Each structure stands twice: as structure tokens, then as C-alpha cells.
Amino acid sequence: MSIDAFLTVPGHLYDSEGRHLQDLAKGKKVLEIGTHLGRSAVAMAATAFHVTTIDHYRGDAQIGAPSLEEAMQNIRSSGLAGSITQVVADWTKWIAGPVDLQAYDMLFYDGAHTFPIYEKHFLDLCDDFTGLIAVHDCYKQDPDMVLVTQSIEEFAKRTGRKINKPVHGTSIAWFDSL
């Protein structure tokens, strides 16, 4: 098992973001929303207790549909498959079921960043979550990502939780555990 295994997995996550996720996920049970090709799941699995990752593998308006088989192969090739559970489902339906978010120490959102505001929908479910919450693609100068930043700022105002803004070389904002 290598801490660098994620570097061989394609995806839209900078190396510095993978390293940052490894720091945030260390020793935690992580729920990731948005697997794509598995890059962030593999990064976190290198330091996390366990990662559960969910994706419907139909893509969205920003990226084409990732291949479930390619994601599975990337995870297997990383040597970290035993630390990652893949769930194939629409997270908005899956999470509305009998899922106990408190069973996780960290939630990482990197799903669709388009209308309807998925980050806002996700964060609306997190009001009572006491673990670490991280969201990808925050505070970018890209006009397509403005909704991401607006969503986390609304969450901070509503809950009183402090936003940890992205560190240099990343676009991951997070809220520490309570």
C-alpha cells in the first residue's frame, strides 16, 4: 500500500489536493460523494480507516460519464481496494434512505457542481453532522464554480461553523469536526 498510489489514477484532483485529503482523512471513516475515476478515494484510502465512495456513473454537464469499470480497475490497481467500498447509486436517493451519516468521521463532496445546487442540497443534510466536512472546487475563479463557494458560505452562516478556506495549490474548503 503506497501513499502515492493516487498519483497514477487519472482525474480532476491536483496532486496537492490529494495530499491535503490524505491529511484530512487520516484515521477516519470517510463518505465520499462523487467517485469519478477513483483518484480522491485512493488518495484518502492511503491514510483513512476506510472510504465509502458513491457515484451513479452517469456523468453530468461538466464531465462525461466516468466508466464504472475504469474506476473499479483504478481502485484495484492501487492496492487499496480493501480500504474502499464502492456504492453505485444516485447519492441524493441513497443518502435519503436509512443511512447514518454519524457513522462517518468525514464527508467529502466532489459530485456535480451544477444546477440544482448539489453542494447546497448536500450541505442541507449536514446541519447535525459533527464530523469533518470537505468540499472540492471552492473559491475557484471559474464562473461555473461560483455556486460551490456560495453553498459553503451559506452553510457557514446557517450553522455557525468556520470555513477553512483552501490552502495553497488546492480548491478544497472544509469545516473541522465539532
pTM, whole model, 2 decimals?
Answer: 0.93
What digits encode the pLDDT tens for the residues 60-83? 556 666 678 889 999 999 999 999
Encode pLDDT of 119-134 as tens digits. 778 888 899 999 999 9
Burial of 157 (0-12, 13-18, 19+ CB in 10 A): exposed
Under 8 Å CB-to-CB from 112, ≥6 apart: which residues? 34, 60, 61, 62, 118
